[in-house]
Amino acid sequence: MIKVLSLDLQGTLSDSSFSDYFWMELLPQKYAKKFNVSLTSAKEILKDKFKQYGKYDIKYYDDKYWSNYLGFNTLIELEKFDIRPIINNELYELIHNIKIPKIIISTTTNLFIDYELKSKVKYFVKVYSCVDYYKIGGKTEKVFLDVCQELNVKPNEVLHIGDSITMDFENAKKAGVNAILYENDIDKLKLELKKYLTVDEYNYREKK
């Protein structure tokens, strides 16, 4: 029996345009200015740095580290350019009709999560930032196990949905958590959900 529905944020509940702007455009601009190098050089330098860090290093996701290192205020910069994520409203509508508690497990920071969720936070009983809550980069097997322990549920009582085959699917499975790889296909997701949820839990009605 599934007791908790867990969801990824960027790439699942929202697109990656907002995050891509920060990491691929804003950060190189600030790096180029601080170290007096070209924007092209800054992008290559940062690309090499992130490759060295690896996707489980907290610096791969921590905007606070980079804003302190390069001397800027992340929120001010984002609001200055008014970069907003594209919300997956169809997915929100779908999960709204699932009658079990819902949480988010995200690789990003609380600042980014708050900026993206806004009023949508009401959908979730708990929002976990791997960076700020667990002090780790990425969703590891341990993150999923720690979430289950805190919520006092068994791993097989949790269903996680996300777009990363490694972090959202394979690592969740290693922890014993049920997982669905989200491939931006709502119809496919609806079919997958029916494998895990009862009629009472999942009462989504097709539009006519």
Over residues 99-104, the mean pLDDT reads 95
Residue type, 32: A
For tokens 């970069």, name the residue: 83
Over residues 179-198, the mean pLDDT reads 93
Kindly indicate the confidence band of residue 126, based on its pLDDT and cuts at 50, 70 and 90.
very high
Mean pLDDT across the chain, nearest whole number? 92
Q: Inform me whether the pLDDT recorded for 208 exceeds 60.
A: no
Up-side HSE of residue 87: CA atoms within 13 Å toward CB? 13
Q: Inform me whether the pLDDT recorded for 4 exceeds 50.
A: yes
| pLDDT top residue among 88 and 79 | 88
**pLDDT value of residue 129:** 97
Q: Which domains does the chain have, with CATH numbers?
A: 4-15+86-193 (3.40.50.1000), 17-81 (no CATH)
pTM: 0.92
Q: Inform me whether the pLDDT recorded for 81 exceeds 90.
A: no
**pLDDT value of residue 203:** 63
**pLDDT value of residue 84:** 81
For tokens 């996707």, name the residue: 55
Residue 88 Cα distances to 30, 99, 181, angstroms: 30, 19, 16
Q: What is the pLDDT of residues 29-46, one digit of tens each?
A: 999 999 999 999 999 999
Over residues 125-144, the mean pLDDT reads 96
Residue 77 Cα distances to 7, 25, 87, 91, 128, angstroms: 27, 12, 21, 29, 24
Q: What is the 3-state secondary structure (H, E, C) of 51-108?
A: HHHCCCCHHHCCHHHHHHHHCCCHHHHHHHHCCCCCECHHHHHHHHCECCCEEEEECC
Up-side HSE of residue 143: CA atoms within 13 Å toward CB? 27
For 28, the token pair is: 């190189």
Kindly indicate the confidence band of residue 25, based on its pLDDT and cuts at 50, 70 and 90.
very high
Instruction: Look at residue 197 and give its three-state secondary structure.
Output: coil
**pLDDT value of residue 83:** 77
Residue type, 86: I
Q: Inform me whether the pLDDT recorded for 207 exceeds 70.
A: no
Kindly indicate the confidence band of residue 200, based on its pLDDT and cuts at 50, 70 and 90.
low
The CA-based dihedral angle spanning residues 177, 182, 185, 191, taken in that order and rounded to the nearest 10 degrees: -10
Q: Which element (helix H / strand E) includes 128?
A: strand 126-129
Q: Inform me whether the pLDDT recorded for 3 exceeds 70.
A: yes
